[in-house]
Structure formats: structure tokens, C-alpha cells
């Protein structure tokens, strides 16, 4: 597996990481724990050194899973986790509301260190911008944790360019994690140029459009009742039917390259910038193998031009999040 460096902090990671959220949360019932440990071990064996989790996934159980699975590889892998939500009300599974007060950030770091079974968090992201706490205070709290040796690198998730600049002025930001794929290209407008200017790496989540760009989902696909795609406007049957045009584009290119649509979608991201490291998630060994195969696919300038020309004629239908969720992103 090829390596990439995120930001001027020289955080080296595998070109393709593994998003672990879906193992415990978001896409239906949690997967079998031992099977997920085996999957994470298989990823390490295939050269993956970059693993993504968060306290809110589960909540808490995903960090515990990742910590247990990666304990034998301490010092050889990079684990990213996140802070910024209020703990759940007793008796409720989901967390809601923001809390990026410095004292809360420091408490979360201590708890995450224990669950992850590490001495320092490699990459600590603010999960979402907290409108009640100045980003300078957030960056200052993480700076303290870095000084204490409890955190190595500071990251932001779904932050807008003004937030990125203000945070970076207090504590250099190593990486921004945000959604980016062929069906969500908004980061290209302002975010990517800002990251390039400041020397910040980019970690796209949902590089496969929450599974849609694999070509395995159509308007007749049904999701389990606790799969969050049920509330995503872009995943209504009508939108899915309309958005098949994008999948057909990927299928056309993948046939020429003897690859799969998923591999072309990931290879396209890798070709955008040398400091981009996507984190596709999966719970299946076969999908892990498929996703990692994207690292070996070379898209020529002609291939990229063909994809961009065709994609520019396609209007993706449906918002990427329900309105209430979309309001809390991109400040």
C-alpha cells in the first residue's frame, strides 16, 4: 500500500484508510465484534495504517472495538478519533447537541485514550463546529493536549474556510475530514484551495457516496430500519433512480480499466491531490479487498478529463443530509 502525508505535520498514512463507523453504528445493527476485529486485522495485513473512529459511534463501542483490534499494532498504525458532542441522556442511545468547551475536550481525550488503549491520540478531530464555542478556544485546548503528549495532531471535520483559518492560526491543523466524492464536489469550490494554501491534508469520508457509487444500490433497494440512509433525501427511491446516471458513468469507465465502479470512484479521489487519503468504510472482507485495489489504478489525465466532462453534465438529485443536519456543517 502506498503512503501519503497529511499536512505540513508530516503525518504519514496509507493512501486509503478504513472508516470504522459502520461496524457499530449508522448502517443498521452493529456487526459481529469478532468478525470486525478480523476485518481490521485483514486491513493491517494489506497495508492499511489509517483507521477512523469517534466517541459518538456506537456511542463509545466503536472506539472500544478499534482499540481492541489495533492493540497488537500500537505504534505501527494511525488512529483518528473525534470530540464535540454532548453525552447521551441516560437511557437514550443517540447523542445530540454540541459540546466543544475546552474542559469537555480534555475529558473526552482522557476517555478516548483508555478506550483506544493508546498513550496518545494520533489525530483528534473536532467532529462538527460548535457555534457556541470560539474555534480559537477549541484549537487552544487541543494545543494543550499536544503539549502534554496526549494528542499528536489536530483535525477538523466539515468545517468551512473561515473556521479552518482561525483554528490553524492557533494550532496548525494537520487534516480536514469532510464528505467528498464524485457526487459531492462542493469542497472543490473553496475548501481544497484553502487546504492547499495552508498545507493541510484532506480525508474524504463517504468516498463511495454512502454505498451508492458501488453500483449495488438502486431505487428498489431497502435499508434496515436503523440505517440512517432512510432519512437522507439523496436516498429516496426517486432520487436513487435519477442518480443512477452517475453510477452508469463509473460503470463505463470501470469496464475500460478492468476495475469496479467503487475502485474508479476511489481512484478518482486519489488522483485529485497527493495529500488526499479517503477512508471508505465496510463490514465485508470482499469489499475491503475491492476498495484497497483502487490504490493500484492509475487514471490518466485523459481518463480524468472524460470523467469530469461527463460528470459535469449530471445533476445529482436530493440533498446529502436532512435540512437540520446540513445546517451544522461547513461553517
Of 78, 68, 26, 20, the C-alpha closest to 47 is: 78
Separation of alpha carbons 99 and 101, rounded Å: 6
Bridge-based pairing state of the strands 11-14 and 18-19: unpaired
Residue in 27, 57, 125, 180 annotated catalytic? 57
Chain centroid offset of residue 73 CA: 21
Q: Which residues contact 318 (CB under 8 A, 6 or more apart)?
A: 232, 233, 234, 235, 236, 239, 242, 243
Of 202, 95, 101, 208, the C-alpha closest to 158 is: 202
246 in Cβ contact with 182 (< 8 Å): yes
21 in Cβ contact with 293 (< 8 Å): no
- Per the structure block, which three cell numbers stand in for 36? 470486525
Q: Is the link from the previous residue into 59 a cis peptide, with omega within 30 of 0?
A: yes
Separation of alpha carbons 243 and 309, rounded Å: 17
- In the residue annotation, 57 being an active-site residue is answered as yes
Separation of alpha carbons 167 and 169, rounded Å: 5
DSSP β-bridge partners for residue 11: 6
Active site members:
57
Amino acid at each position: 500500500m502506498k503512503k501519503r502525508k497529511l499536512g505540513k505535520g508530516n503525518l504519514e498514512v496509507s493512501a486509503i484508510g478504513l472508516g470504522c463507523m459502520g461496524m457499530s453504528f449508522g448502517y443498521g445493527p452493529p456487526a459481529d465484534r469478532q468478525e470486525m476485529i478480523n476485518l481490521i486485522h485483514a486491513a493491517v495485513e494489506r497495508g492499511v495504517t489509517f483507521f477512523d473512529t469517534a466517541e459518538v459511534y456506537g456511542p463509545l463501542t466503536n472506539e472500544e472495538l478499534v482499540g481492541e483490534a489495533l492493540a497488537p499494532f500500537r505504534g505501527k498504525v494511525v488512529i483518528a478519533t473525534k470530540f464535540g458532542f454532548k453525552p447521551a441522556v441516560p437511557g437514550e442511545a443517540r447523542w445530540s447537541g454540541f459540546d466543544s468547551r475546552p474542559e469537555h475536550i480534555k475529558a473526552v481525550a482522557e476517555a478516548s485514550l483508555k478506550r483506544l488503549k493508546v498513550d496518545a491520540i494520533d489525530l483528534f478531530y473536532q467532529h462538527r463546529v460548535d457555534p457556541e464555542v470560539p474555534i480559537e478556544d477549541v484549537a487552544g485546548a487541543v494545543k494543550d493536549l499536544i503539549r502534554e503528549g496526549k494528542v499528536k495532531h489536530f483535525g477538523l471535520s466539515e468545517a468551512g474556510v473561515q473556521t479552518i483559518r482561525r483554528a490553524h492560526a492557533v494550532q496548525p491543523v494537520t487534516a480536514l475530514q469532510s464528505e467528498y466524492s464524485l457526487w459531492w464536489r462542493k469542497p472543490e469550490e473553496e475548501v481544497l484551495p484553502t487546504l492547499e494554501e495552508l498545507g493541510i491534508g484532506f480525508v474524504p469520508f463517504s468516498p463511495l457516496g454512502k454505498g451508492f457509487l458501488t453500483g449495488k444500490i438502486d431505487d428498489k433497494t431497502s435499508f434496515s430500519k436503523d440505517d440512517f440512509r432512510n432519512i437522507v433525501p439523496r436516498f429516496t427511491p426517486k432520487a436513487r433512480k435519477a442518480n443512477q446516471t452517475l453510477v452508469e458513468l463509473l460503470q463505463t469507465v470501470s469496464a475500460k480499466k478492468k476495475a469496479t465502479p467503487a475502485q474508479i470512484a476511489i481512484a478518482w479521489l486519489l488522483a485529485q491531490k497527493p495529500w488526499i487519503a479517503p477512508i471508505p468504510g465496510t463490514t465485508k472482507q470482499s469489499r475491503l479487498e475491492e476498495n484497497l485495489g483502487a490504490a493500484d489504478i492509475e487514471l490518466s489525465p485523459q481518463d480524468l478529463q472524460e470523467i469530469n466532462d461527463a460528470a459535469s453534465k449530471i445533476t445529482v438529485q436530493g440533498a446529502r443530509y436532512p435540512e437540520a443536519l446540513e445546517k451544522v456543517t461547513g461553517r
